[in-house]
Amino acid sequence: MKVKKMFKPSSIIIVLWMLLLLLFIQGNAFALETKFILKTYTEDLQDLKKRKKVRALVNYSRTDFFFTENGTPRGMQVDLLTEYEKQLNKGIKKESDKIRIQYIPTTFDRMIPDLLEGKGDIIASLLTITPSREEKIHFISAKNLIIHELVVTHKSVTDINSLEDLSGRQVYVMKGSSYVEHLNELNQSFKEKKLAPIEIIEADPHLMAEDIFELVNSGVVKLTVADDFQVKIWAKVLPDIRIIDSFAIKSGTNIGWGIRNNNPQLQKSLNTFLKKVKKGTYLGNMFFNRYYKKDKWIKNPNAVKERNKLLAFIDLFKKYGDKYGFDSLALAAQAYQESQLNHNKKSHRGAIGLMQLLPSTAAGKNVAIPDISKPEDNIRAGAKYLAFLRDRYFSDTAINEEDQMAFSWAAYNAGPAKVRKMRNLAKKMGLDENIWYSNVEVASAKMTGRETVEYVSNIFKYYIAYSLVQKQLTKTKKSK
């Protein structure tokens, strides 16, 4: 795998944004159709109604779009679009004649390209409205939803007090986000002032804003940029992030959904829907409790204690990573997810050691390591079993290396039989059964809940964290 106090928002803006997202959270029964659309087309609402389908491009995340334990789709965008679906079906009595919203998962950086290519009809995500984006798509927005893009740091960073203090710093942001565009604009002004440019690092496309906040909270990432309303909510559960609101990277921008420019009927319909949104004061707490519950946040592999844990075993991860064809840091990230690198850990099901493998699995014919009580044998058995899963079930050339890794992790957690069922369900849903992210992970969540999805996601974030730490250490050594 490759790893590639001036502008405080007023309370009314926060409430308006909360309102836009949550006005209609009423536990509505909603059945997600299992057949996603495979064809590409760019039709307007009249023709979409004939198809009885409007496709919404969504990001799979803990807030925008996910499945509950019983397979029910939820999230901010689901709640909003369920109400829009009601508007579309007003006066239609017969169920078979009703128009349905279909959710098409994609990564954030692909949302606009996928919309323009006809893979979806609405970008169901709150995009920042920028001139360059307005040249490509039309935005549906309540213009009073004004946001500010703020610098967010780990609490240990105390010397950022102005835009100029960003000169020469690394800033880690979402791939394809407006932050990249606005930081590049800032670099142009730095050039005129003969200041060193900001080093803009675009995150892996599978990482959402919430993932980057976790990395900042852990101290692995020192600086990022975020929309004020979003990070101020996450700050309630991430105690080690610092929001700098004395200046902004960009101030006074709007956010909204996106549609194609050649869809005036859909534009009119969505604008009518937006006008129906009314103010309610209880929504903030509902939003926070429903979508931003405290979770097992990522820890900091750069902390002395955590780094020492890794250093104690890194040679073994490298030895068996090399032997079985894995990145040593990816193997270490899995061990961290399994045991937090605590070899004495034992699960209630009897899994033991760093890799939390059942002794019976290790002793079986596919691994054939009868004793995994010692760290080296435990890592060797875990790596060998992971390689067995990859080579037996996911070695098809149609599956790229990154997804082979993700599928292997999923099978390590849920078993290969379940992953086979997940892939079959993904195919039935019109998703790509050979791609984990935004495809089979969606089927996984629908079928078995969030455990396996979060298992793979956590390992991926730990892997990125370890990789970033390694890059920082290498950079430090070279500078000496």
pLDDT in tens, 120-164: 999 998 899 999 999 999 999 866 668 899 999 999 999 999 999
Given 338, 433, 441, 454, the catalytic residue: 338
Residue 28 has pLDDT above 90, yes or no: no
Q: What is the pLDDT of residue 66?
A: 74
Residue 248 has pLDDT above 90, yes or no: yes
Q: Could you read off the pLDDT of 269-304 as tens digits, one per residue?
A: 999 887 765 433 333 344 445 554 444 445 566 566
CATH topology of domain 11-144+255-291: D-Maltodextrin-Binding Protein; domain 2 (3.40.190)
Q: What is the pLDDT of residue 466?
A: 83
Residue 26 has pLDDT above 70, yes or no: no
160-170: average pLDDT: 96
448-472: average pLDDT: 84
Residue 95 has pLDDT above 50, yes or no: yes
Q: What is the pLDDT of residue 126?
A: 84
Lowest mean pLDDT, pick from 72-86, 100-114, 368-382? 72-86
Q: What is the CATH number of domain 148-252?
A: 3.40.190.10
The domain made up of 304-479 is a member of CATH 1.10.287.40: no
Q: What is the pLDDT of residue 381?
A: 97
74 confidence band (pLDDT: 50, 70, 90): confident
Residue 25 has pLDDT above 50, yes or no: no
Please report, rounded to a whole number, the percentage of residues in the chain having pLDDT higher than 70. Answer: 82
- In the chain, where does the domain assigned CATH 1.10.530.10 lie? 304-479
Please report, rounded to a whole number, the percentage of residues in the chain having pLDDT higher than 90. Answer: 56
338 is catalytic: yes
- In the chain, where does the domain assigned CATH 3.40.190.10 lie? 11-144+255-291, 148-252
Residue 319 has pLDDT above 50, yes or no: yes
Q: What is the pLDDT of residue 153?
A: 97
Q: What is the pLDDT of residue 241?
A: 94
Q: How many CB atoms lie within 10 A of CB 377?
A: 17
Residue 45 has pLDDT above 50, yes or no: yes
- If you average pLDDT over every residue of the chain, what do you get? 83
